[in-house]
Chain A
Amino acid sequence: MKLAVIRFPGSNCDHDLLHALKYRLNLDVEYVWWGKKTLEGYDVALLSGGFSFGDYLRAGAIATLTPVMDAVKEFAETGKPVLGICNGFQILTEARLLPGALLHNSSMKFICEDVKVKVETTNSPFTSALSKGEVLTLPIAHMEGRYVADEVTMKRLEVEDRVLLRYCGKDGQSDEKTNPNGSMGHIAGVLSEKRNVAGLMPHPERACDMLLGGEDGIKFFKSMVGLAKG
């Protein structure tokens, strides 16, 4: 079982992600360059945070035209797990592998802080080891994290149990006060129709060591350990 951390020019959470998965969760993980045309030999594809191609035009847009994204699309079509974190989430929405879009935070400010998120579904390869309703503390660090989708998509996400994570307070309640960026439905992460592609704005890889303020990221990545064993 091998995991690929895909790197674009401007990715900057690739090292954190590889470090967390390799040294905190003992997974077999390698970097994959954006020019690569295939993901053969890998079982999970991960798109890290950062500012791919400077986030020019729109966050994540230009990265969708790279050879590795053709490989990611093919990989996703075969049902293999693909996870995008922050810029990775933006790239997956731009590539239409996930519904909706991520726009400027309603405050127009870059937000870098710990937030609480509630696990909304455990029916996914990325949250199967968590409990439904569990509240995690994870950092966010983004300018464009406001989740937007049309009414039909929003309804489908709820009905089909495809909201992965939702911003919330410490008791799990979600309202305007606990929503850091103005996301519709307080959404922090979503799943694809086939449930094998997921994206989230928070950075679990930055919460894998008490030295850095928390270990809820390890809890989040535990499902992938299950994948590795399975």
Chain B
Amino acid sequence: MKALVIIRLKDGILDPQGEAVRQAVRALDKAKVSNVRIGKIIEIEFDGVDKGSAEASVKAMCDKLLANPVTEDYQIVDIS
């Protein structure tokens, strides 16, 4: 069983890393890129658990450690 979690900076929080990349990709292909935001993908593997308990466990991990609710939102995109 593998879970995939995406962590994003909340809207409105300055992302200087994304801003630096935005400027770079604009220079790269002159595309009209208006915004770049950089987040994290976390893959978590489980042994011998059902989907329900894996999901509950990932949610608890996100709430307690993987995401900071002050600045980040998380989304469990897949568990399979």
- Residues of chain A having any CB pair with chain B under 8 Å: 57-58, 61-62, 64-65, 93-94, 99-101, 103-108, 146, 148-150, 182
Contacts and interface: CB of A to CB of B under 8 A. Distances in A.
B70 A101 contact: yes
A94 B16 contact: no
Chain A binding site: helix, strand, loop or mixed by DSSP?
loop
17 contacts: A57-B66, A58-B68, A61-B65, A61-B68, A62-B65, A65-B64, A93-B70, A99-B70, A103-B14, A104-B16, A104-B17, A106-B14, A108-B17, A146-B14, A148-B13, A148-B71, A182-B14
B25 interface: no
Given A103-B71, A108-B20, 4 more contacts: A58-B68, A101-B68, A101-B71, A182-B16
Q: Give the top 7 A-B pairs by smallest Cβ distance, nearest first.
A: A101-B70, A108-B16, A101-B71, A106-B16, A101-B68, A104-B16, A58-B68
A155 to B, nearest CB: 15
A105 B16 CA distance: 8
Contacts of A146: 14
Contacts of B13: 103, 148
Interface string B13-50: 11011001000000000000000000000000000000
A59 to B, nearest CB: 10
A94 B14 CA distance: 19
A94 B68 contact: yes
Interface string B53-80: 0000000000011101011000000000
Contacts of B68: 58, 61, 94, 101
B43 to A, nearest CB: 14
Given A105-B16, A106-B14, A149 B65 contact: no
Query: Most A CB atoms within 10 A — which of B14, B17, B20, B70?
Result: B70
Query: Most B CB atoms within 10 A — which of A61, A65, A103, A146?
Result: A103
Contacts of B65: 57, 61-62, 64-65
